[in-house]
Structures are given as structure tokens and as C-alpha cells.
Amino acid sequence: MVTRNQKGGETVEALDRMIAEITVGVDGDDEQLRAFRRAFEDSVAMPARGYVIGEPVLVVAVDYDGNKRRGLTARCRRTDGAEYVVALSDVMFPRASEGARYVSAYRRWLNIEPYPGEPQRSARPGRRLKATETEDDIDLSKPVELAVLAVKEKSARCRLLGSDRVITLRAGSLWEVVPGAIATVIPRKKWRYAGYPYLSGEIQSTRIDVKALNLVPLALRDSGIWDPEEEYWGEEDEPIEEWAKPIIACGPRPMFEMEQVLPGADPDDPFDDPIIRANDLRGAGNRREAVKILMELCQADLRCLDAHSHLGNFLFDHFPQEAIRHYEVGVRIGELSLGDAFNGVLSWGLIDNRPFLRCMHGYGLCLWRLGHFDEAEHVFERMLWLNPSDNQGVRFLIDDVKARTPWEDRENE
């Protein structure tokens, strides 16, 4: 049983036992610092939510470069995507988390106060904080609205809608629940285990309403002007296809690149990509671990559109009615950046646009497979306007959708 002090952390005696376990068999500051780094690597899942001087950050990695005076460092990512390195002792993790336990032990080893003052609660990365943020307990007599962050086999990591408070939901049926959806739950019981809050209940309904999540829209970077005169529209002796005529007639339009959020990736290492790791695991038959990586990305930041698109891809072949929910969440989050009057171009050639375009493609295909022809036609037409070079081949599909050709008939050709 873990004994807690008045600040909710472990007692000094418990921290001393942790330090002894971490540094057993190693001598000198250098070796002990390396032992602490290994302990973080083995025990604290990254990226992890934390605070630096009250500012919410994602802690991407903990490192030690051999400088004993500097000690352990943490690479942190701010809500605007900028990254910087600070001393690990300056980072605060949520109370009762593994990160908080190990930082407290490390600070104790440094002979400084292991439990500095708690920061004011603030927004998780990618989310605006409302002035009405509250810690009030859940009223078990009323339905509860939860924003889903990640889904496991028997539980879902959620956030109370309109709050920054995270809770684990246990419910009998989670198959309709996806990251970014809002679940209305009839609560039965609430409790704490190992310092973490839990809620059990029955999911009454789910909906996709990304505006209610209060996310910070993904930034759009100005990338010049797209000119239809510079685009390839086929051979000179071939007529222009009907879908392309209004796009060409519209003339030059501004071109943008949508911000891509990928928690945990090393920007200096192109091979350090959690999406690629997930796909490799899926290809090797380890679907469970692949899904876990993608769910962790969503939990770190719901604006990771590539995680939504690949979760949809995992289900597309056999369960389009489930895959469509993942794709739609990604589409709706991306649309927060566009607004109703957006008439620019999101070229596939600008690679950070691809996660959003992948979500749109998967969403349109699922709509077609499920017989929602009008909606599928609208999505495909929108894609052609956003990316006239049509690297995803929508132009080869849209006539069948307009003709209301069933998906199965097209697939059997």
C-alpha cells in the first residue's frame, strides 16, 4: 500500500525506497543519472501531459547528455507546436501519475523539495480552457457528457465536457465510441483507484460535435497561389473532363498547408514516426499494439488527424459502419480551420495536408459503401476543389457515385 503525504504524493520514506531501487548497484552521479533516465524510459509512457511554470505541455522525451551539472532534461512541446528543452526538475506531471512519482523521486535525489506548489489547472494541448472550468463531482442522478480521448477493450479515457478533468469510463458496450466523439452516459458508480478517477455507467447515445470539444483549430500556413494554368489536365488533344471545368474557370486561388499534429515524433528524425510504427505492427499481425499507439496519439492531442484516418483504415475493409466514425472526426476537426467560406487549395504535394485529405477520402468511400450517395458526392466534389491534382483518384469514382452505382457493383467490375 502506498502511503501518501498531505500534498497527495508519496512519503519521503517511499521516495527514498524508489531512489534506492533505481540506483541499486550503480555508483557516482553520472551512472545514477543514467539509471534515472532508464527508469523514466521504462516506467513513464511518452508523450505525457505536464506543466512548465503553469503552462500546459506535452513531455515528448526525457534525456541525459552526460552533463552532470545539467542533469536530466525534458523535451517539451507547447500548444502551438513549438518544442524546447528544460531541466526535468522544472516539469510537473499530473498528481498521482507515474511521471509525478518519478519526478518527485528525482527531485528528492537532487536534494530539493520533491513536491513544489501545484500549478493552476489549464487546458490540455490543443484545447481552449473555458472560464467555467470546474472540479465539481459528477452528479450520479443526471446524465454525464464525456469527450472521448482514447478507447481500450473495456474502458475509454474521457474528459468531462466543458472541463479539463480526465476520467476513465467503464461501460458494457464501447463499439460505437471513437476518439473525438461525445458520449452521453447514465452514470452508476464513481470511484478512485491508484489515484485515478473512474466512472461506470450505460452509454445512452454518442454524437460527433467537434465544436463542443473547444479545440484550437489547426493552423493554415500560406503557401502561395495555385494557378490552374500550371496544372496538368491531360493530353492536348483530349477534352477537359466535366469535373475540372468549373475549377479551371474559377482561376488562381490561394494555397495553404494545414498544420499537422503528431505527438511523440522526433522532428529531427524522419524515421521516428508513431504512425509508421503502428502500420508496421499491423503489417506484422500485431493489430492490438498498433491500435494502442494510435489511441495514445488521440489521447495526447485529438487534433492528430493521421491517427483518426489510420484507425479508420484498420476497420475499413470489414466494418465501414465503424470506420466512418473515425474518418468523420478527422474531417470535422480539419474543417474547424477552414470555415464555411474557404475557397483555397490544400495541395497533396504539401505533405502536412495529407492527413486531412486521407480522412476525407475514407469518409467519402464509407458514405458510398453505406449507400449515402448525396453525402459521398458532396465530399468527393469538395476534395477535387481542395486538391485539383487529385492524387487520390476521386475523379475516377465520382461518376459512379453520381449515377448511384452501388459500391458492390463497382467492386465486382
Q: Which of 66, 64, 86, 65 is nearest to 74 (CA)?
A: 86
* Per-residue pLDDT, 14: 87
pLDDT confidence band for 195 (50 / 70 / 90): low
Q: How is the chain split into domains, by residue range?
A: 12-109, 144-212, 220-261+301-411
CATH class of this structure's domain 220-261+301-411 = mainly alpha
* Per-residue pLDDT, 239: 84
Q: Which residues are within 8 A (CB) of 162 and not within 5 positions of it... i.e. 6 or more apart?
A: 130, 132, 145, 214
Secondary structure of residue 92 in the 3-state scheme: strand
Cβ burial, residue 345 (10 Å; 0-12/13-18/19+): buried
Query: Sign (positive/negative) of CA torsion 278, 280, 282, 285?
Result: negative
pLDDT of 177 higher than 50? yes
CA angle 177, 181, 186 (to 5 degrees): 65
Which CATH number does the domain 144-212 belong to among 1.10.150, 2.40.50, 1.10.3470, 1.10.3430? 2.40.50
pLDDT in tens, 302-343: 999 999 999 999 999 999 999 999 999 999 999 999 988 899
- pLDDT average, residue stretch 345-368: 97
Which letter does DSSP use for residue 23 in this model? T
Query: Sign (positive/negative) of CA torsion 107, 110, 113, 119?
Result: negative
The Cα 413–Cα 401 span in angstroms is 15
DSSP string computed for 315-334: HHTT-HHHHHHHHHHHHHHH
The Cα 82–Cα 215 span in angstroms is 17
* Per-residue pLDDT, 327: 98
The Cα 223–Cα 240 span in angstroms is 27
pLDDT of 266 higher than 70? no
- Which ranges of 206-273 does DSSP label H, i.e. alpha helix? 245-250
* Per-residue pLDDT, 411: 66
Q: Which of 267, 258, 324, 313 is nearest to 287 (CA)?
A: 313
pLDDT confidence band for 13 (50 / 70 / 90): confident
Q: Which of 329, 330, 312, 310 is nearest to 369 (CA)?
A: 312
